[in-house]
Each structure stands twice: as structure tokens, then as C-alpha cells.
Amino acid sequence: MRAALQNSSVIGPTVGFVRLPHAEGLPLPAYESTGAAGMDVRAAVPDDRPLLILPGKRALVPTGLILEIPEGMEGQVRPRSGLAFKHGLTVLNSPGTVDSDYRGEVKVLLINLGDEDFAVTRGMRIAQIVFAVVTQAAVEERSLAGGTARGSGGFGSTGTA
């Protein structure tokens, strides 16, 4: 297994991670390669009590982490393609939004779209978080929207080929 990327080679803002007692002993999220867009996050479920997700069912998986994301950024909770491909396991609300002012525990809403039970075990890398810059927009009510060449065409209006 490749070692997770060292902090020193990261160019970008700093996100704070507060570890809750049930994440004690688990590695903090980390980029698994130099160009990884997302940090893999781990399940902070008890060692002796894996979380079983039956086919078609969903579960909120604790990460044991509180994040301090810089203002003007968000955390996007995304599925891992390997889990999706091999087990049909995905993030139901993907991409989950972690707001910069959220100070609760980050949780991952997994759903099992596969046909077998899936056991989430302690320390399993269940999802990835991408940190991205976001903009808050001001709202201005207008009576008419300005014209464009597209107009109201959408939902396949330009064809498929």
C-alpha cells in the first residue's frame, strides 16, 4: 500500500480536524496519492461492532471528526469508485455538503445498492472529501430574465450525438 501524502507537499489552505474520542487511534484523512483530489475518510465505528448495511438500506456512518473548514470553502463528501464498483456502495446524498460553519461530527450517508450485505468496519476508508472554493451569491429579484441564444432549451435540447 502506498503511503498517504505528507502534509509538507500540499499546496493549499489548511483544514482543521478535531478528533472525537471514538476516532482515537484512527489515521486522520489523507490524500492517497500526490494528485488526489479527495482525502479518504474512515469509519469510526466500534472495533467489535461493524456496521452492517443490508441491500437497499442506508446508514449514517460516523467519522469521529469535526472539521474547521476555512470560510469561503466547503467539503464535498463523495463516494469511492472502488466500493461503488465492487459492492454497489455509494454516498446517497453525493456530493454531501459540509458547510464551513458546521461544527458537528462529519458523517457519511452510505447506501448499499448491491445485492449483498456490506459490513463497514472500523478504519475502513468509506468515502472521500474534496475541499472546494464556494461563492455565496446575493439575491436580486427581477421581473424578466435577459434573452440568450439557448433560451429555455434544456434537458437534451441540443441532441445526443
Ligand X SMILES: O=c1ccn([C@H]2C[C@H](O)[C@@H](COP(=O)(O)OP(=O)(O)OP(=O)(O)O)O2)c(=O)[nH]1
Interface residues with ligand X (CB under 6 A) are 77, 93, 96-99, 102, 106-107, 109
**Binding residue per annotation — 80?**
yes
Min dist CB 26 to ligand X, Å, is 17
**Shortest CB 127 distance to ligand X, Å:** 8
Kindly state the smallest distance separating residue 28's Cβ from ligand X, in Å. 16
Strand intervals (E) in 4-140: 16-19, 30-31, 39-42, 51-53, 58-68, 73-78, 89-91, 96-98, 105-112, 118-120, 125-133
Burial string for 80-106 (b: 16+ CB within 10 Å, else e) reads: beebeeebbbbbeeebbebebeeeebb
Residue 120 among known ligand-binding residues: no
User: On the CB side of 104, how many CA atoms lie within 13 Å of its CA?
Assistant: 7
Nearest residue (beta carbon) to ligand X:
96
Please indicate if the annotation marks 157 as binding a ligand.
no
Ligand-binding annotation for 48, yes or no, is no
**Cβ distance 69 to 100 under 8 Å?**
yes
98 in a known ligand binding site: yes
Question: Which residue, 76 or 122, is less far from ligand X as judged by CB?
Answer: 76
CB-wise, 17 or 102, nearer to ligand X?
Answer: 102
Q: How far apart are CA 19 and CA 67, in angstroms?
A: 9
Closer residue to ligand X in complex, CB, 20/33:
20
Instruction: Using the structure block, give the residue that is written with the C-alpha cell 445485492.
Output: 115
Tell the smallest beta-carbon distance from residue 157 to ligand X (Å): 30
Report the binding-site residues. 80-82, 93, 97-99
Report the binding-site residues for substrate. 80-82, 93, 97-99
